[in-house]
Structure 1
């Protein structure tokens, strides 16, 4: 029987990360590829972990990597422990230097990229005490809907910008960042282009809608605008959704600033619907650690408070769609 010391030695960050990778990829083979290991070595590591904990973590009767109830519990708690370890490491670095070694921004796909790049350019143009640019490495994550907040909650991002969450948590500070209007559009040759307005739910449901997949992996995914029984074409980004709509592959809603030039040029037709005017409240948020933020986070939060910055992040879609 394993001792408490054996169990503690087995529950390393590497072992917990291995469990997370296997569960996320769905198979030992896929996890081994991602981790740069051979499947047999991964299987051996899992068996060692099971022996140390004296439990079965995976259902051996399934061809896929199906977790047992014990394995599921280890996965949930392991992810929490990894987040805490990352938080401790980041906190230590911040205390030592004042500048974070890395700052990750999780940004909803509806936020204008051009304004983001302007902010990054301004950030790197700063001069620190040593005369050089900030030592903080920036990392940009483009997420969709709940995926933006999941990255912040899981400790994978330091600041999140996106659609305001329905239920903010006590560990997250959330501030308003303006509103963005979504407009329903179709291509000029789409059957709904000439239909009388406002379009009814029955009219819209008869036609394929183009949606963007929520990037959340653990939080409940958000689905907006899809009606019961409606045919759906799912795209990975708003830019690809726009392209599909321009080709007449379906209908859907996009941020008004993103489609304005296409509507003015006649490449898209904006239609009023039974929903009326649809506006989403946007927010920026960060983790409340109980300590003053590092210099990089403080700089970004100061910029995000500005009304001009908020307008730019919601409106400057012209000329740059990534």
Structure 2
């Protein structure tokens, strides 16, 4: 077996014969002589030391080895085609990868829709996505780990970043219906909030470490994952602020109830969302797509108008 002498052309001929069902049909599809197709397959079989087709019948049939190796051949050709497409795109100034850092409060549905549209527009560009809270997003943009960031939970924008204002996210204070704060009408006095456990997001970055935002209780439980915070809220383990799009179903079903704090009314408050990037970062076609797509958003939540009315 001399696999080093295999050519991509031989693999393409092999796949074409298998897909076409005959050497003649493959020759027509590839615009070649049938003898050239037969020679390419025979040479490939010799180099692999394996018979790929059974030629005893009217039409060539894949052998067991041919069936197994056909999948490998397809994978090799797919990878080569991907390499060629990515290299061609890069030579034209297109990025090979886009690195994004996104705030935990940015709506997942909106993010998925953006990623789907980006994939359709740039199928050869890979995406590296980090989900962070507080200073984590800005820190990744500043140190170059992310080309673009979407800030939410960080109340201020670092002065060395350019920004694009996006639609806001509605934040509400919520507790489980059996929680001690659930039955209080009107704004909850500050002294009562100080006595109850508040569930808050922790900051894994150095940018805003040891800084607290919208923390009112003496007793806090901190976590970096919104899903964990959500589950603890529903379990009655404390109170906290959450994006309305995350707890909408829980509020409708009565698994969570809104409360009013001295800082937030029952209907909630809007959290500003911003897209940030470094001014010295060259924006290729892929990154430019993200800047344009984010700037063109008029809402982050398909039910935002309904929420505003409730």
Range into which the TM-score falls when normalised by the shorter chain: 0.5 to 0.7
The equivalent of 1:304 in structure 2 is: 294
Of 223, 240, 261, the match for 1:235: 223
The equivalent of 1:268 in structure 2 is: 256
**Which of structure 1's runs of 4+ aligned residues deviate more than 4 A?**
93-96, 313-316
Q: Does 1:215 align with 2:231?
A: no
Of 101, 112, 117, the match for 1:117: 112
Equivalent position SS for 1:125: helix
User: 1:261, CA displacement in angstroms?
Assistant: 1.5
Q: Is the 8 A contact 2:169 2:300 kept in 1?
A: no
Q: Does 1:168 align with 2:175?
A: no
Q: Is the 8 A contact 2:147 2:281 kept in 1?
A: no
Quickly say closer, same or farther: Cα 1:125–1:169, change in 2 above 3 A: same
Equivalent runs, 1:36-115 vs 2, <5 Å: 96-115=91-110
Q: Is the 8 A contact 1:160 1:286 kept in 2?
A: yes
The equivalent of 1:288 in structure 2 is: 279
Query: Normalising to structure 1: TM-score of the pair?
Result: 0.61
User: 1:215, CA displacement in angstroms?
Assistant: 2.6
Quick one: distance in 2 between partners of 1:314 and 1:146?
28
User: 1:109, CA displacement in angstroms?
Assistant: 0.2
Quick one: distance in 1 between partners of 2:197 and 2:296?
39
Gaps (5+ residues) in structure 2? 1-87, 306-310
User: 1:176, CA displacement in angstroms?
Assistant: 0.5
Quick one: distance in 2 between partners of 1:246 and 1:272?
17
Of 242, 246, 250, the match for 2:234: 246
Of 142, 145, 166, the match for 1:177: 166
Q: Is the 8 A contact 2:245 2:301 kept in 1?
A: no
Quickly say closer, same or farther: Cα 1:95–1:101, change in 2 above 3 A: closer
Query: Normalising to structure 2: TM-score of the pair?
Result: 0.63
Quick one: distance in 1 between partners of 2:252 and 2:301?
20
Quick one: distance in 2 between partners of 1:212 and 1:108?
11
Q: Is the 8 A contact 2:198 2:238 kept in 1?
A: yes
The equivalent of 1:138 in structure 2 is: 127
Q: Is the 8 A contact 1:108 1:143 kept in 2?
A: yes
Quick one: distance in 1 between partners of 2:248 and 2:207?
34
Gaps (5+ residues) in structure 1? 1-92, 127-132, 317-322
Q: CA RMSD in A?
A: 2.5
Quick one: distance in 1 between partners of 2:141 and 2:291?
15
Of 184, 187, 194, the match for 1:195: 184
Q: Is the 8 A contact 1:111 1:313 kept in 2?
A: no
CA deviations 1:292-320 (Å, max 9, x no partner) are x1011011111001134x4249969xxxx
Q: Is the 8 A contact 1:213 1:236 kept in 2?
A: yes
Quickly say closer, same or farther: Cα 1:207–1:219, change in 2 above 3 A: closer
Quick one: distance in 1 between partners of 2:115 and 2:219?
39
Quick one: distance in 2 between partners of 1:101 and 1:299?
14
Quick one: distance in 2 between partners of 1:290 and 1:199?
46
User: 1:190, CA displacement in angstroms?
Assistant: 0.5
Q: Is the 8 A contact 1:210 1:251 kept in 2?
A: yes
Quick one: distance in 2 between partners of 1:187 and 1:297?
42
Q: Is the 8 A contact 1:145 1:222 kept in 2?
A: no
Q: Is the 8 A contact 1:111 1:314 kept in 2?
A: no
User: 1:224, CA displacement in angstroms?
Assistant: 2.2
Of 187, 190, 195, the match for 1:206: 195
Quick one: distance in 2 between partners of 1:314 and 1:205?
33
Please identify the structure whose Cα radius of gyration is greater: 2
